[in-house]
Amino acid sequence: MSKLISGFSKLTKDEKITWLTENYFHNQSETKAIIKQYWNDNKDLQQLHDDFIENTISNFYMPFGIAPNFVINNRTYVIPMVVEESSVVAAASLVGKFWSTRGGFKTMVIGTTKIGQVHFMYAGDKTEIETYFNKNKTELFAATASITKNMEKRGGGILDIKLVDKTDKLENYYQLHVTFETKDSMGANFINSCLEAIAKKFEKDDIEIVMSILSNYVPECVVRAEVSCKIEELGGENPQKFAEKFYQAVKIAEIEPYRAVTHNKGIMNGVDAVVLATGNDFRAVEAGAHAYASRSGQYSSLSHCSIDDGVFKFWIEIPLALGTVGGLTGLHPLAKLSLEMLQKPSARTLMQVMAAAGLAQNFAALRALTTKGIQHGHMKMHLQNILNQFNATEEEKEIVTAFFDKKTVTHSAVVEKIDALRKPNINWIDFLDKNLVSSKLYKIDKNSKPIFGKMNGQQMIEHLSFLLQISNGKVAADYYVSDEKSARRKPFLNTEGELQVGFKAPLLSEEPNDLKFNSVGEAINDLFIQIDNFKTHFETANAENHPFFGELDYAYWQKFHVKHFTHHFKQFGLV
């Protein structure tokens, strides 16, 4: 069946979902249920969301959080943040509070000019196109009068139009480079409408308009945010050392593009979260910021640091073309709520708030990197995601969270802890307790059938004796285990992990050995002799080779035998 379709946009939402699930999903009913469970019960609100884009089938939720305690230019803010990364809001909140007692964030808007361009081709004489442009420049402004009228009332509009010769880069290529002030509007539609009107007025037979479009590179729409304090006010065990390492980390990001990309990504964690929360265009902001980071010809850090006369200073300059009116900012209920939370800021104020959020995020990342390491705090926050992934109960969450309170969280360590909580308690066999061993073993005979494996009861007992003889130095385990393999395998003996069914040391045969003794009783007596020998052998011996784990001392051999006895006792249902 063909998966191509015509007229998809004309289908109802239910028809779109039916077509999608029939063609691309195995479990259609489950898929439909997942899609529909994210619909809003308020039909009018759902319709509003459906109308944002085309071919809507559901809503994709993102966490909406807040970072309190931001003091920006002596005014206190709660910053809304929409982001999926677990540590972002926590890091911003901590840093906001940290700097709130050290003067807060100082911010200023350097410029708000935005750019649009009419790209065209002209093969004639350069002086003629210059003459034509200069003669008609006033008419180009006039061509946009009906569009710019309302913007001009708010103090915005077209600032200038320039003719730019780019023929040295591309044959016959010119631009009309237009600068705009859009005040509290992001201004994309306004700018593009002006550019199209200008292009239509400018075009003639020998001028071929290629396209008219705004630029998301806005190097003159820039904001600066800064924090500073005396070095000793940074706190910690050694604030001078911290300041110096922090400074070095920023300098590395200034000169090393590989580091700068990740460094700036951390800044954008904070910026994008506020951009999304306020209904602005995070793709445009991202593109403009990274282009700005490359303006010198090499990609570099957006933030900078200095240590002068005992004062630590950290700042950022970043282009941010934003709006607080128009677009989603006026339609999306949560975007409107975010702007109200920010005390209904102008676009200039919003630029300053976002720059502070980006700088806070960068400070948090660099502080972690130069002290405990980035994973310590990040994985602490990620812990809850891992627990949810494994459907942990509230009791399990409480136990695991407490367990990792002062430990580094890793995915594998969390999984291991969850598995340990859910695994039935293991009744480890203390093989040195001969009364315990005896009480277990006299329940079987040589005809006892195993739950797994091929050995009968007596063969299992003699097998335990054989491994004890290896540890006692009576049988040479000549199988070589490299130091690298030994170092990788031995840590298992320190865990609560059990020997897996099918585990077999390399020198052991696939089939059970022939019986050595005439009865189970004789085999048990020999086992006890080997247990006694184990206790005395290591009074003089330092280590004996294990055919799988390598050289083991008394403590490691003891751990192995506990696991080995327990494994084979389980084989015959004795534990």
Q: Active-site positions?
A: 85, 265, 281, 378
Helix, strand or coil, per DSSP, at residue 64: strand
Residue 427 to residue 191: CA distance in whole angstroms: 75
| CA dihedral (556, 558, 561, 567) positive or negative | negative
Residue 354 to residue 324: CA distance in whole angstroms: 13
- In the DSSP assignment, the letter for residue 5 is -
Q: Checking DSSP bridges between strand 64-72 and strand 106-109, what pairing results, if any?
A: unpaired
Residue 254 to residue 444: CA distance in whole angstroms: 73
Q: Where are the alpha helices (DSSP H) in 26-104?
A: 28-37, 43-50, 88-100
- In the DSSP assignment, the letter for residue 498 is P
Short-list 317, 266, 323, CA closest to 295: 317
Residue 322 to residue 349: CA distance in whole angstroms: 10
Residue 109 to residue 472: CA distance in whole angstroms: 78
Tokens representing 338 are 């975010």
Read out DSSP for 389-408? Answer: HTT--HHHHHHHHHHTTTS-
